[in-house]
Amino acid sequence: MPPMKTVHDGIILTDKCENESSSDVIRKIKYAFGEGKSLKIGHAGTLDPFATGLLIILLGQGTKLSRYVMAGQKSYIATLELGIETDTLDPTGNIVRKSTVSHLSDQTIREKASRFEGDIRQTPPAFSAVKHKGIRSYKLARKGQEMVLKERPVTVHSLEIVSVDLPLITLQIECSSGTYIRSIAADLGRELGPGAHLKILRRIGIGSFLVQNAFPSCEITGKEIRPLLTAHTISLREAIPEIQETEIPGFLEEKVRNGYCPKWDELDLSSTDGDCHNGLLKLVSDGNLVAVLRIHQRGGNKNGDIGIERVFS
């Protein structure tokens, strides 16, 4: 009798190495687990090949967590190079303009950089995955087609100057999902005068997950690494720690897994603080994630609307 296949559900924190694509990391992990097409796998928030840092891999049922993991605040260390602008806004593109970088005081740099903190509007780079008339904009940009991409609101929670060694400026940025660090680098370069491109990018955090706890992608070299990857797999329940949870009994677990939506009086909300994160609530049974609920309204008299967002088998 052939051995039973191991089911992998959860997430793995990886530290993506330079010159690897996010898809390269996925392919290596899929090969290491040796389950071919039977293993669903994805990632939360792509990183360009030149960038390094935290890339969260979603395994099995973990692919259902994508929207929740990607919603977490992002943290980056970014180095921009003044005096050189590229068409991609990063080191992979063609140089479109060079300028002389004259002396800039730290005060001037900090003052200009502070303008990018808070709620801002940002135009995505032409070389990005944003769709323009149904087509990925980078595909149109590669063909030399001009397009006008719409500005979008993003939030930069903090932007700190780490170091200045002109023409290089290194920043630490805490921002909302959907923020383009390349655009911040290019826009700050124009504010300072000589223009700039993003030379180095490292993602150091997503939500409560930090890169120092991640498995280096360059060490994922074959099937012999499988036990280590399994040991680094974070359970479905622990993968979304920001969402509050409540325990449900076994009989209700079975009903929910079969599509039943629980009612207020079937839930014990005494362990929550009364303000579910983004209106979401995890249902847990015997330590395992059963479902994520959307709480539309709640109150002390236990009324309101409840809907099932995701069920985990």
Which residue is it, tokens 């603080």? 273
256 closest CA partner among 217, 306, 210: 306
Give the pair of three-digit tokens for residue 65: 């967590």
48 is catalytic: yes
Q: What separation, in Å, do the N-terminal and C-terminal C-alpha atoms of the chain show? A: 25
Question: Of 48, 87, 90, 187, which is the active-site residue?
Answer: 48
Which residue is it, tokens 């993991």? 69
User: What's the per-residue H, E or C state across the chain?
Assistant: CCCCCCCCCEEEEEEECCCCCHHHHHHHHHHHHCCHHHCCEEEECCCCCCCEEEEEEEEHHHHHHHHHHHCCCEEEEEEEEECEEECCCCCCCCEEEECCCCCCCHHHHHHHHHCCCEEEEECCCCCCCCEECCEEHHHHHHCCCCCCCCCEEEEEEEEEEEEEECCEEEEEEEECCCCCHHHHHHHHHHHHCCCEEEEEEEEEEECCEEHHHCEEHHHCCCHHHHHHHHHCEECHHHHCCCCCEEECCHHHHHHHHCCCCCCHHHCCCCCCCCCCHHHEEEEEECCEEEEEEEECCCCCCCCCCEEEEEECC
Handedness of CA 140, 54, 31, 290 (dihedral sign): negative
For the annotated catalytic residues, the residue numbers are 48
